[in-house]
Structure 1
Amino acid sequence: MTTNLTNSNCVEEYKENGKTKIRIKPFNALIELYHHQTPTGSIKENLDKLENYVKDVVKAKGLAIPTSGAFSNTRGTWFEVMIAIQSWNYRVKRELNDYLIIKMPNVKTLHFRKIFDNETREKLHQLEKTLLTHKQQVRLITSNPDLLIIRQKDLIKSEYNLPINKLTHENIDVALTLFKDIEGKCKWDSLVAGVGLKTSLRPDRRLQLVHEGNILKSLFAHLKMRYWNPKAEFKYYGASSEPVSKADDDALQTAATHTIVNVNSTPERAVDDIFSLTSFEDIDKMLDQIIKK
């Protein structure tokens, strides 16, 4: 931790429309707190610790406290970094030499369809073109899953087997940009599962998971038909840094719509399961269950 809080680089002032505002720099906060280690224990306690650290820095610098919305977004970023680092180390620890666990960026950076090889991307492009020929111009719009679990041995590089033991800008970048190495290389049936990460499961965030699961599973069902491979499976899961309630679980039992419009289809959930990730050990348990190793 930076001993003199006024020297911290986890916040900065900037001008917008003539007004002075405060920007939180989430990676800097992580590195200043955990530079010689990676976080362990309770995820919520670590998120609270990071938020309190930023508030202490802001007060020490005599700046305005960032808004609750700013902290909510920043906690989401911290949560995603923690998941990415833990998932990287999980794969190394379990010696999963044919799996990759990819932290995906937002769709503006890279749409998940671009990870596929040329043949699969062409099939999805044909689907999109067909949808757009309709008068209503139908589209399949969704966000990227936060995590993708892929099983494809020829994607593995030796450097992926080195653990991340401390938080540095380089290590965070390695964990968050792994997706760049797989762009245009994934076979469609190498996708094992996707995971949507949420710091909480308020009702609107539950619906985001259901929508994302629905679209992703519909695309995968289309590829199963195009490749004539009914045995291929793709699962979609939700995960929250807070305990999961019965109301959460009930809401996430919503059917995947493409499985209830055909009497020959077996109904399935849009979100196959929901995991409560209150500790770093819970991340390992979730991945164990998804990969079933």
Structure 2
Amino acid sequence: MMTQKQTIGFVGTGVMGKSMAKHLLYNGYPLHVHTRTKEKAEDLLKAGAVWEDSVESLTKASDVIITIIGTPLDVEEVYLGGKGIIKNAKSGTYIIDMTTSKPSLAVDIYKAAKEKDVYALDAPVSGGDVGAREAKLAIMVGGDKEAFEKMLPIFETMGENIILQGEAGAGQHTKMVNQISIAPAMIGICEALMYAKKAQLDPSTVLESISTGAAGSWSLSNYAPRMIKGDFAPGFAIKHFIKDMKIAQESAKEMNLPTPSLTMALEMYEELANQGEDESGIHALIKYFE
């Protein structure tokens, strides 16, 4: 006898969320969705998702709730607000925040959820629009092992590299490690491509040589070709990266850890955002050098 799959409530259907929600739908999960702008959910509704007018109604209809939304303030409101998830969740509900948010907030959500007999996981992702579309995201999880194991089949519909990093907040801390790694790497890629151009080399041919050697990385392979083409459509927008870097900087300060390269990258990205590039992809950093 086939077991009925859990009903999933999904909040946030932006560039990443829409693809992630589609994978859940195509894998047979009953899906209820809510997002600030209903138009952004139209594709999912046509594919069989059920629209919910509020976070409150979505929560009451769901066994598992997944969020991938904007800022830590949004996360706090959606989870801990008066009409939010924890206040309205049934006992035994699983809640998974896949937004990149503050580790300390993930701990607060976990504690508030535990009081209501609700299981909370923080599970931010990496892999950008391509990873979300191809269900190849890296998913970094914080929370209880039992809850993680119960939710693993759901995670496996959206990603490939899925690791429980530790207790509540550990997923968010791991994502901060990820963003701190990317920030100076993006500067290096831009400087390298500018050097190739100044040396009158063909950047695409240079990329063929260096991408399989010690300089090779996901960022180099995925972002450098877009920089060369001048395609700055956002797989991951500058405004979101700035938000992440500020969280990383704040968390590092709490641990008395200096992060000079993160600070430099943040300043460069903020300058680009002030020039109207906040909706461009993070690879638009090349414009800072051009």
Mark yes or no: TM-score above 0.5.
Answer: no
User: Which is bigger in relative contact order (C-alpha 8 A, separation at least 6)?
Assistant: 1
**Structure with more helix by fraction:** 2
